[in-house]
A and B are shown apart, each in its own frame.
Chain A
């Protein structure tokens, strides 16, 4: 099952921040591949959503960027700023709390094997 883009939209910032926390320095393509790999292809981040989000994170000062030139190609690497690090913790715990609430609200029973 691939999740709908509506579901992913609200959590994309958190996903990107958490990945940067775990992997220190990443570029856009790497982020999409990493998410695919970690979720066994269940979550596929679209480029159309990823890059605008990265742009906003940069504008908000949560990530810093570095450009690496390789001939005509330029790769933009993203790293968490100190402010981004504390924001990541905040966002992850907010999402965890939200998921618990949803579980309760929708009365989802944890599947036992």
Chain B
């Protein structure tokens, strides 16, 4: 029996790795196997190198690295089936969740949004990436692989943009614009010029390209442009300033009445509290929406435009705003339960305004929420004038 020495072991190991077997486990397997063969089959004083060269071709058809390739193939094929299964289940689940979520939404049943979020989330983060991974594997050419990645990337981004939009998460708009842009400016040229050269795919390529352009075009038709947003914000801001003007005029009217000595300040107190709470919440919201606590006619110069920031999320989630909203709600409740019955006034309507106890009824847009607040202030001022004019006629008792 031949005995192998350490030098020969190193020789075999070096040769195995030079022949392209890199996995350590496989190297050790082969080394031991070759040593066994040599020790079993080579005579005690045989020629090691010559015998080794004769033995090694037993391990392969064309080259030794086949063993490693076969191992990789078997291992990835196993993942392949798992991936395929997960893809099918996640795809089915997300399609079902999204459809059911939309149905719930139309029926106005609770639980719609969680289903929609799960449906879009799983589709874009699990189903589509798995689909890409599997489809890329099937394609031979690098260009086809790139097209699949680009196409899916823009689909994933578009789905996420819509998800982010409905959840009011930041980054929705930029994703919403980037994804069709990738499709039209990167995917389309590669696809079009690749497919048009081949007579077999020519017609299909033209039709699909036209469909892509139409799809992207329709999407951008629906999208509000930056200039459009500016016009919209300017309109919002001017409308807000107009309301503030009305409020100011009403306040000045009241000052004339306030000279009446017959009415003590205490009668106007509940209303004033509501008014002050409104002012405080208003400046908090303006700060959030425009960066300035107060805005004037020069808003265009200063760039303090009221855009379409989300008021409801801010009023619920921002600690400062939520505290100020609680103060306002308390003041309105106090006003409606004391001053209103005492002076026979109409109560301040609560439902569907910022002070609605049902938080989901709060206005979504800042401009509407600000409008609510100003309307509450107007009502208070008008009621105060009512109280003052009644006092003038001697209807309010002087204590």
- Which chain A residues have a beta carbon within 8 Å of chain B's beta carbons? 27-29, 32, 46-49, 51-56, 59-60, 67, 71-76
In the complex formed, the residue of B with least CB distance to A31 is: B33
B residues in contact with A28, CB < 8 Å: 29, 32-33
B residues in contact with A49, CB < 8 Å: 70
Q: A47-B67, A51-B67, A51-B71 are in contact. Are A27 and B78 (CB under 8 A)?
A: no
**In the complex, A72→B31 CA distance in Å?**
10
Let me know if B10 is at the binding interface, CB within 8 A: yes
Let me know if B6 is at the binding interface, CB within 8 A: yes
**In the complex, A46→B61 CA distance in Å?**
10
16 other A-B residue contacts (CB within 8 Å) besides A52-B73, A56-B78, A73-B31: A29-B32, A46-B59, A47-B67, A48-B67, A49-B70, A51-B29, A51-B30, A51-B67, A52-B70, A52-B74, A67-B28, A71-B6, A72-B6, A72-B10, A73-B4, A74-B32
**In the complex, A53→B61 CA distance in Å?**
17
In the complex formed, the residue of A with least CB distance to B74 is: A56
B 339-372 binary contact with A (CB < 8 Å = 1; else 0)? 0000000000000000000000000000000000
What is the CB-to-nearest-CB distance from B367 to chain A, in angstroms, rounded to a whole number?
A: 60
Tell me which of A52, A53, A76 contacts B28 (CB under 8 A): A76
In the complex formed, the residue of A with least CB distance to B68 is: A52
What is the CB-to-nearest-CB distance from A99 to chain B, in angstroms, rounded to a whole number?
A: 24
A residues in contact with B10, CB < 8 Å: 72
A residues in contact with B30, CB < 8 Å: 47, 51
Q: Are A56 and B75 in contact (CB under 8 A)?
A: yes
Majority-rule SS of A interface residues:
helix
Q: Are A48 and B25 in contact (CB under 8 A)?
A: no
**In the complex, A76→B30 CA distance in Å?**
10
Let me know if B26 is at the binding interface, CB within 8 A: yes
Majority-rule SS of B interface residues:
helix
Let me know if B190 is at the binding interface, CB within 8 A: no
Pairs A–B under 8 Å by Cβ, sample size 24? A28-B29, A28-B33, A29-B32, A32-B33, A46-B58, A47-B58, A48-B60, A48-B66, A48-B67, A49-B70, A51-B29, A52-B67, A52-B73, A55-B26, A55-B75, A56-B74, A60-B78, A71-B6, A72-B9, A73-B9, A73-B32, A74-B28, A76-B29, A76-B32
**In the complex, A19→B25 CA distance in Å?**
21
**In the complex, A60→B79 CA distance in Å?**
11
Let me know if B186 is at the binding interface, CB within 8 A: no
Residues B4-29 near A (CB distance < 8 A): 4, 6, 9-10, 25-26, 28-29
In the complex formed, the residue of A with least CB distance to B24 is: A74
**In the complex, A36→B75 CA distance in Å?**
27
**In the complex, A31→B30 CA distance in Å?**
13
Q: Are A75 and B32 in contact (CB under 8 A)?
A: yes
Q: Are A52 and B71 in contact (CB under 8 A)?
A: yes
Q: A55-B25, A72-B9 are in contact. Are A48 and B70 (CB under 8 A)?
A: yes
Let me know if B37 is at the binding interface, CB within 8 A: yes
**In the complex, A33→B61 CA distance in Å?**
20
**In the complex, A76→B33 CA distance in Å?**
10
In the complex formed, the residue of B with least CB distance to A53 is: B74
B residues in contact with A67, CB < 8 Å: 28
A residues in contact with B29, CB < 8 Å: 28, 51, 54, 76
Let me know if B35 is at the binding interface, CB within 8 A: yes
Q: Are A29 and B37 in contact (CB under 8 A)?
A: yes
Let me know if B36 is at the binding interface, CB within 8 A: yes
In the complex formed, the residue of A with least CB distance to B23 is: A55
A residues in contact with B70, CB < 8 Å: 48-49, 52
Residues B39-81 near A (CB distance < 8 A): 58-61, 66-67, 70-71, 73-75, 78
In the complex formed, the residue of A with least CB distance to B7 is: A72
Q: What are the 6 A-B residue pairs with the smallest beta carbon separation, nearest first?
A: A29-B36, A52-B71, A52-B70, A72-B9, A56-B74, A47-B59
**In the complex, A28→B60 CA distance in Å?**
16
A residues in contact with B6, CB < 8 Å: 71-72
A residues in contact with B28, CB < 8 Å: 67, 74, 76
Tell me which of A46, A55, A60, A72 contacts B71 (CB under 8 A): A55
**In the complex, A72→B28 CA distance in Å?**
10
- Most chain B CB atoms below 10 A, which of A28, A49, A51, A54: A51
B residues in contact with A51, CB < 8 Å: 26, 29-30, 67, 71
**In the complex, A54→B35 CA distance in Å?**
19
